[in-house]
Amino acid sequence: MKNRMVLRLALAAIVFAGCVEEKEDKSLTSGGIADVAYISLKVKTEKNEARSSGENAGMNESDLKTLYLITFDETEKVVGIPKTTEYYTKIEDAASKPDAIKISAASEKLLVIANPGDELLDVIENINDRTTFPTINAAVKGVTMAEITDNVNAITRGFTMINSGDESNKQAGEKITDPLISLVGKIQVVSKDLQEEDAIKEAEDDNNRVDVKIERLASKVELKLKEDNNDKIVVEPTGATFTFKNWAIDVMNSTFYPFADKTLLTVIHSSGGSYVSNFYTKDPNFTNATGIVNAAVNETTYEPELVAPYTWMAAATGTYCIENTMDANDQIFENATRVVIKGVYYPENHVGTGDWFSFAGKTYANFDKLKEAYNAIDVGPNLKAACEKMYVSIRAYADKNSGVDLIGTSFKTLEVSDLAQIKNGGEVLKDGKNPIIRWYQGGLCYYYYEIRHDNDTDEHMAFGKYGVVRNNWYKLTLGSVKGAGTPWFPDVDKPGPGDPDPGDPIDTSTGYLGITVDVAQWIVWENEIDI
């Protein structure tokens, strides 16, 4: 897979060429008193005590710190604030009720953005009366993943959120294509029959408020072990052992759109909260093949290098990423977000320490046993050739890395002391899809699991089956280990023998306005996984 990262925008204004002017060039929005209206805002947040025990300590993932309100006319063109040069309203300390806010009486639709990062904010600050919502949405595609994950582990400004769209009166299979909230019939317009102070009071009446659901643009992934529930991971075959080391997230999106079309799926959300139906978004990145990034293996050290700023994590920890969704026929290994698990595995009847090896389905408990098989009178040509290739790979590693001094000059003369100088031995021996000796150095194994969004779907390559979706929290539990993984990192760009090709399917079987803002709960998907 190509590392398909789009370039960051130097200036959001570039994207708006021909439709956005610099802020200082904006002209005064025209209109008399009849063009004036106000809104008052009532904000409600979900604290999620019942469902969010995994939230980062000391951090409320539902915080609303800063809100930006943008209104549009019936054609979805931005409407400015009367008698000002502004085209949006900023509300600080959004958890409290602010004073009445001036808007244009021509406003018919509303967009609410919470806690934007610098680049999204740059887009907001460069809109004008010729900007449309589709323009805003497209302009943000150059924003990097740090924009909404904020260095993953330290959300200091709150999660970026946006209108979630209206799912009422929609059935499974139908789409939500517009996040904007209708203001028709809710605006209290200043006129000769409704004085300004009376219009403000009317707008602040609870019956006249407009309900707006907003949701996080980030997704959350968590991995825990079955032992956390006073149970044990099942290890196969009987007598084999597995020790969990750590895990990482890999193959993910690096860009986002504030809003992407949603398709309602057949599953009802079990987590309650603001949603009724499970949904799956359509990621516009796949239209022009941009945005997917993944870990790679360093060609000199053979060490896997994860996508910054992600790192290896302990069990029962969570991390955030940008949603990564795709059409059914794009649900292939190189596209779907996954977790990679690192552990130590030893086959049955093994002492449980040191290195072990395998070739053509047969295991060798240590290097002496492998050399013994190599030196046997009836050794097959395939094993002998694989052992010689093993030496060639080790020799190449030694030539690249100073300080590695091999005693052996061929496989036959290699010693355990030679192998002890090699780091990431399983990775060093990998040779594309060609048969090799699998070297489990210290028992090290890698496993991977593509995250299923709709875990109730068994249909082969069904739409919405794989991928991570905004505002969803995927709680994965490792329940069983059904054998040895690979002794190399599962690099989707450079698969080893037995690994899927990047293009393989994942499944081979089958006026005055009052607003109430409701932060959608994390939607929790709890899946037990087998590796």
pLDDT in tens, 305-341: 998 888 999 988 888 888 999 888 888 888 999 999 9
Burial class, 36, CB count within 10 angstroms (exposed 0-12 / middle 13-18 / buried 19+): buried
Q: What is the CATH number of the domain that holds 360?
A: 2.60.40.3690
Give me the domain span that covers residue 159: 36-216
Quick one: pLDDT at residue 248?
95
Is the model more confident about 513 or about 166?
166
Listed ranges 21-35, 54-68, 76-90; the one with the highest mean pLDDT: 76-90
Specify whether 293 is located in the same domain as 305: yes
Quick one: pLDDT at residue 528?
65
Average pLDDT over residues 404-421: 91
Q: Is 8 a domain residue?
A: no
User: How many domains does the chain divide into?
Assistant: 2
- Read off φ and ψ for residue 121, nearest 5 degrees: -65, -35
Task: Report which of 176, 145, 149, 174 is spatially closest to residue 160, judged by C-alpha positions.
Answer: 149
Q: Is 200 a domain residue?
A: yes
Quick one: pLDDT at residue 33?
44
Q: Is pLDDT at 427 greater than 90 in this prediction?
A: yes
CA pair distance 292, 365, nearest whole angstrom: 40
What band does 369 get if pLDDT is binned at 50, 70 and 90?
very high
- Residue 122 tokens read as 């740059």
Specify whether 156 is located in the same domain as 113: yes
Q: Is 181 a domain residue?
A: yes
Identity of residue 446: Y
Is the model more confident about 424 or about 229?
424
Specify whether 382 is located in the same domain as 485: yes
Is the model more confident about 103 or about 369?
369
Q: Is 427 a domain residue?
A: yes
In this prediction, what percent of the chain has a pLDDT beyond 70? 77
Specify whether 149 is located in the same domain as 172: yes
- Read off φ and ψ for residue 144, nearest 5 degrees: -85, 170
Q: Is 345 a domain residue?
A: yes
Specify whether 290 is located in the same domain as 227: yes
Cis-peptide into 309, omega within 30 deg: yes
Q: Is 18 a domain residue?
A: no
- From 182, 216, 250, give the residue that closes a domain: 216
Specify whether 483 is located in the same domain as 496: yes
- Residue 248 tokens read as 């990482």
Phi-psi category of 273—alpha, beta or left, where left has phi over 0 and alpha has psi -120 to 50?
A: left
Q: Are 158 and 63 in contact (CB under 8 A)?
A: yes
Q: Is pLDDT at 413 greater than 90 in this prediction?
A: yes
Specify whether 314 is located in the same domain as 429: yes
Quick one: pLDDT at residue 27?
37
Q: Is 25 a domain residue?
A: no
Quick one: pLDDT at residue 386?
96
CA pair distance 215, 235, nearest whole angstrom: 39
Specify whether 360 is located in the same domain as 449: yes
- From 197, 216, 235, give the residue that closes a domain: 216
- Partners of 111 in the β-ladder: 70
> Tokens 């496993």 appear where?
447
Specify whether 389 is located in the same domain as 431: yes
Quick one: pLDDT at residue 32?
43
Burial class, 116, CB count within 10 angstroms (exposed 0-12 / middle 13-18 / buried 19+): buried
- From 169, 187, 216, give the residue that closes a domain: 216
Q: Are 68 and 88 in contact (CB under 8 A)?
A: yes
User: pTM here?
Assistant: 0.84
Specify whether 138 is located in the same domain as 193: yes
Task: Give every CB contact of residue 482 below 8 A, 6+ residues apart in sequence.
Answer: 236, 530, 531
Is the model more confident about 40 or about 215?
215
Specify whether 143 is located in the same domain as 199: yes
Q: Is 14 a domain residue?
A: no
Q: Is pLDDT at 271 greater than 80 in this prediction?
A: no
What band does 38 get if pLDDT is binned at 50, 70 and 90?
low
